[in-house]
Structure 1
Amino acid sequence: MKKRIAVLGSTGSIGTQALEVIQAQPDAFEVEVLTANNNADLLIQQALQVKPNVVVICREELYDQVFDALDPHNIKVYAGKNALKSVVQMDTIDVVLTAMVGYSGLEPTIKAIEAGKNIALANKETLVVAGQLITDLAREKGVNIYPVDSEHSAIFQCLAGEFHNPIEKIILTASGGPFRGKDRQYLSTVTREQALKHPNWDMGAKITIDSASLMNKGLEVIEAKWLFHLQNQQIEVIVHPQSIVHSLVQFQDGSLKAQLGLPDMKLPIQYALSYPNRLKNNFPRFNFVDYPQLTFEKPNLETFRNLALAFAAMEQGGNAACILNAANEVAVSAFLDNKIGFLQMSDIIESCLAKVAYIAHPALTDYVATDQETRRIAQEMIKL
């Protein structure tokens, strides 16, 4: 039986690669739903290629353009965020791939889980913002969450066949980004163009900036806690510039298992969609001879403060990670718009963590209010 996939955020970096994976495996997958925020042209192009049952364009003013292009092809078209939250509950969907950027992925993911849909999770912010709520809900509904991030996919793959064996710790690897080894004086003058040049990965703008500041690794630390039911002290980060070892698990007997491969998101995407099977593909293969040296070093938490702030937010718990995420999204957007410098992103995040009201046991309404309050305070700081 083919798995019927809903791709949320199909026009982004993960979404476009996911469609390549799906199209390369026509006997295993078919596309049921495509959604996009505002890239109507690419959404139309994708829909004409893969012929989904439904598409959703979140920007309602773009509805007519998408409808006029796709209605003659018997593809249903809806618009708006409420439509997005409705279509993920369709009976004809087997797996929802959440590839939306940032906080926007939270509520559609909740609706999909409530409808009993398995989740291929590429939107790490969902677990960062509301990890306890999401994992409790998934457990209640009997829903599996399959990680798409390369690091979490690596952990998941290392745990295959080991689920009965207690984890001593996990080690998430980080490339170090384009500014590995640089000091704060250097970072004080870097430009958005420099920050967008990642040495190993081809990603969207937001995640590329997060990688340059090591916030991406901080978000992944928090995501890993919830995905794998870990204690805070069981998670470590190591900088691995070659991005070949995607992460490691250490078991209670001291054995380490690692997953290796070339830096290519298609493999973790395919594994999340096809689990528990491994499908034959023509992805480039890793050759040890091409990488005679694999190196590892400690992350510099004093220079790259975002990673330290993420660990602190995880330790604090409650809505702290929600504050961290919202402040970071505003700060990254401001940096990309050349409104603030690279180091100011950490200042804004730290200030928001101090100023926004802390809630020890938040409900969904608290997360929504926290996100809104944090964004307001962060925007005010940027305008000063």
Structure 2
Amino acid sequence: MSPRTVSLLGSTGSIGTQALEVIGRNPDRFTVTALSAGGNVDLVARQAVAFDVPLVAVASGSADDVRAAIAAYAGERGRGSHALRGPTYAPEIVVGDEAAATAAGCGADVVLNGITGSIGLRPTLAALAAGSTLALANKESLIIGGDLVRSAAKPDQIVPVDSEHSAIAQSLRGGRAEEVRRLVVTASGGPFRGRSRAKLADVTPEQALAHPNFSMGRVITTNSATLVNKGLEVIEAHLLFDIPFDRIDVVVHPQQQIHSMVEFRDGSTIAQLGPPRMLVPIALGLSWPERLDDVDEPCDWSLTQSWDFAPLDDDAFPAVRLARRVGEAGGTFPAVYNAANEVAVDAFHEGRIGFVDIVDSVERVVDAHAGAHTGSDVDASTVEGVLSADAWARGQAATELGL
């Protein structure tokens, strides 16, 4: 069997670097045909040379800078203009706003979208249009794209990479769709688990970035602290698995050993568990439906251990409740929720608003959207319509916050 070709979007981020770790351990299974990065030219150049990648796409910077960085590292490995150990390495380089979409649409067997934020929508659609399997870590593109993305996807073309949704996909192998009673999405509870709303008022940005289990970027880590991330995951679960919102629950599980569960009609529950790391979901995104050997360490059952579960405190953390509301409203409401939150997170880290103000301000923007649009005048069926709602929400959030 020939190796699967992989286009990796967001190669310099957490998902991307771990994906390359998995690929590097399995050179007989995967070949990287394209890399896409935001602006970390030095790192993407190193990655491109190490994996001999034919296409390198960078959102910001200049083609000359990318070319120079690649030439420098290629020279170190004997692949420069005076190569002695092999042919000169000189990949195709694409720079600009459409760079990621170009890499996504290159026709690779698998496109792993590890970009953060709504900018991942066009690459997601490009990958689907090219017929590639989409290993989706960029939840925002599905959430804001909604039915636009679902209608573009063929059956089983999207493989979830979020650990919760990967867990659900794995657990669903244990029964037929009509046998499912509900999905149970687990949450760590973030660094402020157990605090009342009043005790969240003085949370600092530094505290919000201290996630108990994962090291992630600023937006995702803050979203995990507010539980906006879990709200987004509830919407994502609905869109991926076509389960109504009233049959998707969230439970707090601090140890994050159980990544999510599926409850079936007969009363049985199937859970997927493992260390609180992303290696297995990433590997499965690349190899689905097959499993790779020795991707991560399994649980050590020789150790005494206890796992805790608790209901979500909707009063202290209203983000999931609000996400259910926007998810049920559909259309461009999820795009508004996501965009307003990104603006509020930036404002929080800039010291302009408090921690509890993040979700409060998002709710005000959602309310304004509901008042401004009846639904018939909001077009969620095109990229332009979705991104227009995204832009409106960012402007409205800035107004609400006095920015």
Asked whether the 8 Å contact 1:173–1:246 carries over to 2, the reply is yes
Q: Which runs of 5+ in 1 are unaligned?
A: none
Query: Match of 1:69?
Result: 69
The percentage of aligned residue pairs carrying the same residue is 42
2:305 alignment partner in structure 1: 292
Determine which of 351, 368, 392 is the counterpart of 1:355.
Answer: 368
Contact 1:324–1:349, Cα closer than 8 Å, also in 2: yes
Count of paired positions: 380
Deviation at 1:75, TM superposition (A): 1.6
| Inter-CA distance 335–291: structure 2 relative to 1 (3 Å threshold) | farther
Deviates more, 1:125-134 or 1:219-228: 125-134
Tell whether the 8 Å contact from 1:119 to 1:143 is kept in structure 2 after alignment.
no
Provide the residue aligned with 1:107 in structure 2: 122
Q: Residue type of the partner of 1:367? A: V
- Equivalences for residues 274-313 of structure 1 within 5 A: 274-281=287-294, 283-290=296-303, 292-313=305-326
1:230-245 aligned at under 5 Å gives the runs 230-245=243-258
Measured against aligned partners, the alpha-carbon deviations of 1:103-155 in whole angstroms (never above 9, x if no partner) come to: 0101111111111111000011111112211111103xx56100000000000
Tell which deviates more after alignment, 282-291 or 151-160. 282-291
- Cα 1:370–1:164, aligned 2, differ >3 Å: closer, same or farther? closer
Given that 2:34 and 2:54 are in contact with CA atoms closer than 8 Å, whether structure 1 keeps it comes out as yes
Conserved? CA contact 2:42–2:69, under 8 Å: no
Q: TM-score, normalised by structure 1?
A: 0.95
User: 2:146 matched to which residue of 1?
Assistant: 131
Report the counterpart of residue 381 of structure 1 in structure 2: 400
Superposed CA deviations along residues 183-223 of structure 1, whole A, max 9, x for unmatched, are 12221111111111111122222111110001110000000
Provide Cα deviations, 1:146-178, integer angstroms capped at 9, x if missing partner: 000000000000112534543110000000000
Structure with max Cα Rg: 2
Pick from 196, 209, 216 the counterpart of residue 222 of structure 2: 209
Q: Aligned partners of 1:382 and 1:220: how far apart in 2?
A: 26
1:143–1:173 distance in 2 versus 1, CA, 3 Å: closer
Q: 1:291 to 1:228 in 2, by over 3 A?
A: farther
* Cα 1:75/1:329, change in 2 over 3 Å: same
For normalisation by structure 2, the TM-score amounts to 0.91
**Range moving further from structure 2, 351-360 or 263-272:** 351-360
- The corresponding residue for 1:58 is 59
Question: What is the deviation of 1:291?
Answer: 5.4
Question: Could you say which residue in structure 2 is the equivalent of 1:371?
Answer: 390
Q: Is the 2:263–2:269 contact (alpha carbons within 8 Å) kept by the matching residues of 1?
A: yes
Asked if structure 2 preserves the Cα contact closer than 8 Å seen for 1:7 and 1:33, the reply is yes
1:79-117: CA deviations, max 9, x gaps? 0122332232223x1110000001010111111111111
TM-aligned CA distance change 1:69 to 1:81, over 3 Å: same
| Alignment partners' CA distance in 1, 2:37 and 2:103 | 13
218, 225, 240: which one aligns with 2:238:
225
Aligned residue type for 2:36: T
List structure 1 segments (4+ residues) > 6 angstroms apart after TM superposition.
none
Match of 1:257 in 2: 270
Cα deviation for residue 352 of structure 1 reads: 0.7
Residue 172 (str. 1) matches residue 185 (str. 2): yes
What root-mean-square deviation, in Å, do the aligned CA atoms of Structure 1 and Structure 2 show?
1.6
Segment of structure 1 superposing worse, 330-339 or 253-262: 330-339
